[in-house]
Structure 1
Amino acid sequence: MNVVILDTGCANLSSVKYAIERLGYKPIISLEPEVVLECDKLFLPGVGSASAAMKKLKERNLIELIKACTQPVLGICLGMQLLAEYSSEGHVHTLGIIDEKVDKIPDVGLPLPHMGWNQVYPKAGHHLFRDIADGAYFYFVHGYAMPLCSATIAETNYGENFTAAVQKDNFYGVQFHPERSGSAGAQLLKNFLEM
């Protein structure tokens, strides 16, 4: 299987690559249009701010390339947020695949950003969460979140409920870092790769 990690220029590319390699795959990191469009599975990792990430995607001519993908695509952390229409972080229009806005996590007296292990509650029977317990712990690091919406396939609570995972057509996204989430994260990556 041809697995590609989109070279978004972010810092966690190697940890995502290593997590996929541990599952027996040989992913490549690329931003070449023909490589990206012909792959079987595409990963869209991201860390940092939405405005900086969109600037990098634009500089690398990746925005239309991502939207043109028909194979399964998995956005990770900021990569999931970029699937939305808009982020209030930097007041930037994002990829617009999911008709939703990403906002700052409200201050309800909990430490911000949301950092550490938290429970994830998927929609019953969703294939991305196959063989993962309801309420399994995943690792989060983020200060902005997508509210619950029609594309939500899993949620988490941190003062209030927010979207932990989304799906719209062939586009999937997870707010947490599966590559840093132990056996539950490995199972989620495996489920995505076996779709």
Structure 2
Amino acid sequence: MRLLLFLLTCTLLGALALPARADLRCDRGIVRQGDRMAEVSLACGEPDVKVVLHSVLTAQAGFVPVEEEWQYNFGTQQFMRFLRFQNGRLSQVVTGPRGFSRRANPRCSPNDLGTGMSQLELLARCGEPDSVDTLITSAPVPRLAAGAPYPLGVPAEEWLYRFNSQQFMRFVMLVNGRVVAVESSRFRD
């Protein structure tokens, strides 16, 4: 009996030590770690949002994405999924919060905007922004997880949302597909 218990314990510990696989069941198939972007697209469809995390400048092709995140919203009955690709191959599947109805909230308020949200969640809560500017940060940007901040000079997007007859505005900064800062501003006549 002790031998059986010992073997069972070793088997369980060995299973826990194995690296987690990036498997995801989609409508048209299962995707696994190492699958190509085209295979994932065929199985899961086009993502709701694609975020280029890192790219390399080449002489022939210009900027080539090296690391991307595809954000999927599978609806209110499932969780959102964030698929990371390294050099065109699926490297990680992260489960996000519960999905949402595809219609944006027509009564989005400034309080609906918060740091840590994915780009997909932001679009779900408030819809398309009034404007989008692509910029290079002029100061370090706080990271959402523990660790050093993103350094000066990180590519970012700044989204503008207008509230209250366009007199009250919020600027939302996104880095790597996540909201890292929200600033308030008033329209000046």
Q: TM-score, normalised by structure 1?
A: 0.29
Of Structure 1 and Structure 2, the greater helix share is in 1
Structure having the higher Rg: 2
Q: Highest relative contact order (Cα 8 Å, sep 6+), 1 or 2?
A: 1
Identify the structure with the greater strand proportion.
2
